Amino acid sequence: MKKFSQIFVISYCFSFFLFQTIFAGTVVDKFKIEGIISIASTKALQSELLKKLDIKILDLNLKKTDSGWPVLRIEYDPDIISKNKIETVIGEIEDPAGHKYKVHKGPLIANANLIDEENQAMTILGDMTMDLKQVNNPTVDFDSSIKRGKDVFIKNCAKCHGLNGNGYGVVAHGFATWPRQLWAWYKADSAADSYLYWIIENGKSDMPPWGLVLSEDVRWDLINYIKTIKKPEEN
């Protein structure tokens, strides 16, 4: 029994020493990730990283980050693998839709507000070649319409445009172009209706054609609400 106890103690000490040796030299780094557009994207990134590298993923913060970018925290041994190597491998991984991830460098850059010339041009032609049909807002009860439009916005639009319309929605980080800051349309008059209706109906760039999903009445509710979105500092 005494001999067994000695063997057990020796084995325990050896295991503890080995564990300390392996993990004593590890560091933790944060990586801002571009290209995460869905839950499937998060799973694919983490599983592929663990397959390719000898690392430990601590967590992936999608929302509450200082920069606005999803932040991946990784623990690794710098004697075995470099930070640059981790960044390189992240950039080589593709999500299920075939888009590659990227480690973000530099500050978050917002879209500039629309200038008067842009607004004037877009009410006539839009900011790309399109066949704008003239539409008339049929809304009678604007207060009720705006309330319904807010609910539609939170459910369908905020994930990309952000709850306050700033364009930093949680899934927008993987887009080729940041969503436009919606307060550019604050208190816009009826001249903007044809353009806004066209964009919602047909989509543009990474924005899908919501005309396939939302009825005409719901689209008008959304337009009426968008025109109430102010810059955050003005709220």
What CATH number does residue 138 fall under? 1.10.760.10
Please tell me whether residues 66 and 126 are part of one structural domain: no
Over residues 18-46, the pLDDT tens digits come to: 555 445 589 999 998 877 766 777 888 99
Over residues 182-232, the pLDDT tens digits come to: 888 888 888 888 889 988 888 777 777 788 788 999 999 999 999 999 887
Which tokens belong to 223? 């337009």
Give residue 18's pLDDT. Answer: 53
* Residues 235, 231: Cα–Cα separation, whole Å: 7
Residue 88 scores a pLDDT above 80: yes
Is pLDDT larger for residue 149 or for residue 36?
A: 149
Is the four-CA dihedral 19, 22, 27, 32 of positive or negative sign?
negative
Q: Single out the residue in 65, 81, 103 at which a domain terminates.
A: 103
Q: Single out the residue in 43, 71, 103 at which a domain terminates.
A: 103
Residue 102 scores a pLDDT above 70: yes
Please tell me whether residues 141 and 90 are part of one structural domain: no
Give residue 10's pLDDT. Answer: 60
User: CB–CB of 146/221 below 8 Å?
Assistant: yes
Q: What percent of the chain has pLDDT over 70?
A: 71
Task: Tell me if 5 is assigned to some domain.
Answer: no
Q: Write out the residue range of the structural domain in which residue 150 sits.
A: 116-234
Give the total number of structural domains in the chain: 2
* Residues 229, 235: Cα–Cα separation, whole Å: 9
User: CB–CB of 97/37 below 8 Å?
Assistant: yes
CA 232 and chain centroid, separation: 19
Please tell me whether residues 123 and 207 are part of one structural domain: yes
Please tell me whether residues 230 and 120 are part of one structural domain: yes
If you average pLDDT over residues 135-162, what whole number do you get?
92
Please tell me whether residues 161 and 219 are part of one structural domain: yes
For 190, residues 6+ apart whose C-beta sits below 8 A from its C-beta are: 136, 137
Q: Single out the residue in 103, 129, 153 at which a domain terminates.
A: 103
Please tell me whether residues 99 and 145 are part of one structural domain: no
Output phi, psi for 4, to 5 deg. -60, -40
Is pLDDT larger for residue 55 or for residue 107?
A: 55
Give the residues across from 73 on adjacent strands: 30, 59
Please tell me whether residues 161 and 229 are part of one structural domain: yes
What CATH number does residue 31 fall under? 3.30.70
